[in-house]
Amino acid sequence: MVKICCIGAGYVGGPTMAVIALNCPSIEVVVVDISVTRISAWNSDQLPIYEPGLNEVVKQCKGRNLFFSTDIEKHVSEADIIFVSVNTPTKTRGLGAGKAADLTYWESAARMIADVSKSNKIVVEKSTVPVKTAEAIERILTHNSKGIKYQILSNPEFLAEGTAIQDLFKPDRVLIGGRETPDGLKAIQALKDVYAHWVPEDRIITTNLWSAELSKLAANAFLAQRISSVNAMSALCEATGADVSQVSHAVGKDSRIGPKFLNASVGFGGSCFQKDILNLVYICECNGLAEVANYWKQVIKVNDYQKNRFVNRVVSSMFNTVSGKKIGIMGFAFKKDTGDTRETPAIDVCKGLLGDKARLSIYDPQVTADQIQRDLTMSKFDWDHPIHLQPMSPTGVKQVSIAWDAYEASKDAHALCILTEWDEFKTLDYRRIFDNMQKPAFVFDGRNVVNVEMLRDIGFIVYSIGKPLDPWLKDMPAVA
């Protein structure tokens, strides 16, 4: 029986291995992690991450050929194929701080593999890593090899949170990079055989190692660039009276461009886009490609601009002050159908409003109160470390309360800010919400989910990103 071990039981390791186990009953899959709480949660009925369809998949194979364990060394030593899916945060200190990937967790995983292995291994990079990481890992492994042969493969993951299970079952492509040597090609084939259990062969692409590593960074940079492009347009739409949804629709009809990923919003978030672009920028700079680095940097700058612009709209519309005013925050996760808050734009928007002394009542159907307080007190980039290594702030933010539902969050509020596109926000009883709010009552829709006309008829003053401005907002100072 082929044995797979995956180091890192997070958003990638957990769902990816569950789908492999389900589709390959003849393979034993063990997911290991240094976090005892995470592994206990995987072994309970309350999985550590929320992802539609995940529960059902895990239920079918847990205990059959899918296992979760903290006994890392035992399972690594027994495995034929080892996936490494640990955090690769942005460095906060030292050389490349604020840009380069911090490979501390990767390196410690590689050293541990070298220490405990007694048989040949295929080591698969699942985490997103800088180009040429495989070479560094190879050096660590071969310098400690005791005659054991290692083949390193790059197999970046393209799943999107919120649709991870669907993406894993029907991937647009599976990418496998490896050495173009006889042993390298054999290792590529072994991994191909795993995916071939359910992925059509023409969707499994093989490349050299560096192309696979770079393709993942490039894909995320292109995706984020589309969002920043449409968000840049949204600012121009507001200034001119065009409607960004109409512009996106017209642009997306061009088959060379396509309709996906063209929704204007308060900005992109998630654990990957910013981190991977910063990483790309750093690699460009290290290779003397300043122009290329600056080009990609701009994608992040526009994203930051979009979040600032949103906060400025809120404050300037409300007589230039939100001090002491209650603002209902609808949604905190970085997108719908996930409880993940890593780099969510809600953090920057909430911090911006708190900076102007607002009182916030935050509601999200999947994010815990603890997580929200943690996010609002943590410094930038600290979030992307294993949870037990994250600095904990002793107290939460006083001006923040957590609400059980949207109605509680909006009660007596001066304004609502919609920051995640949860479906339930489309069908709220906005008449009831309006009746329970202070007047004038504002809605700032950062995800374009509400029916603007309907809300204006009820009496709200509505701001919706990239849409023709409410007459109220037109008379307010321009935002920058």
Which active-site residues does the annotation give? 272
State the minimum distance, in angstroms, from the CB of residue 156 to ligand NAI: 7
Residue with nearest beta carbon to ligand NAI: 10
Residue 352 annotated as binding site:
no
The yes or no reply on residue 133 touching ligand NAI (CB under 6 A) is no
Amino acid identity, residue 198? Answer: W
H helical segments located in 43-155: 54-61, 72-78, 104-116, 133-143
How many helices and strands in the chain, by DSSP H and E? 18, 14
90 is a contact residue toward ligand NAI (CB under 6 A): no
CA–CA dist 348, 353 (Å, integer): 9
Least CB distance from residue 135 to ligand NAI, whole Å? Answer: 17
- Quick one: which of 28, 157, 238, 337 contacts ligand NAI (CB under 6 A)? 157
> For residues 263 and 420, is the Cβ–Cβ distance under 8 A?
no
Which tokens is 271 given?
Answer: 């654990």
Q: Using CB under 6 A, which of 108, 120, 163, 229 touches ligand NAI? A: 108
Nearer to ligand NAI, 105 or 444 (CB): 105
Give yes or no for residue 128 binding ligand NAI (CB under 6 A): yes
10 Å CB burial of residue 147 (0-12, 13-18, 19+) is exposed
If the CB atoms of residues 35 and 166 are measured against ligand NAI, the closer one turns out to be: 35
Residue 34 as a binder of ligand NAI (CB under 6 A): the answer is yes
Residue pair 42/15 in contact by the 8 Å Cβ criterion: no
User: Roughly how many angstroms between the first and final C-alpha of the chain, as a whole number?
Assistant: 61
Residue 283: how many other CB atoms lie within 10 Å: 23
Q: Does 88 bind ligand NAI (CB under 6 A)?
A: yes
Residue 98 marked in a binding site: no
30 touching ligand NAI, by CB under 6 A: no
Output the smallest distance, CB 15 to ligand NAI, in A. 9
96 carries a ligand binding annotation: no
> Which residues between 393 and 412 bind ligand NAI (CB under 6 A)?
none
Q: Which residues contact 227 (CB under 8 A, 6 or more apart)?
A: 261, 263, 265, 267, 268, 273, 303
Residues 6+ apart with CB under 8 A from 290: 284
CA torsion through residues 364, 369, 374, 376, sign: positive
Going by C-alpha positions, the residue among 208, 134, 201 that lies closest to residue 174 is: 201
Nearer to ligand NAI, 111 or 192 (CB): 111
Selected from 5, 7, 18, 212, the binder of ligand NAI by CB under 6 A is: 7
Regarding 215 and contact with ligand NAI (CB under 6 A), the answer is: no
Asked if residue 261 belongs to a known ligand binding site, the reply is no
Residues for the chain: how many in total? 480
Quote the tokens at residue 285.
Answer: 């700079």
Q: Do the beta carbons of residue 51 and residue 164 sit within 8 Å? A: yes
The residue among 269 and 328 lying less far from ligand NAI, judged by its C-beta, is 269
Q: Does 31 bind ligand NAI (CB under 6 A)?
A: no
Helix (H) / strand (E) containing 379: none
Q: Which of 27, 100, 109, 227 binds ligand NAI (CB under 6 A)?
A: 109
* Binding-site string for ligand NAI from residue 262 to residue 301, where x marks contact by CB under 6 A and - marks none: ---------xx-----------------------------
Binding-site residues for NAD(+), in ranges, read: 8-13, 33, 38, 86-90, 127-128, 161, 272-275, 342
Q: Which residues of the chain form contacts with ligand NAI (CB under 6 A)?
A: 7-13, 33-35, 38, 72, 85-88, 105, 108-109, 127-128, 157, 159, 161, 271-272, 386
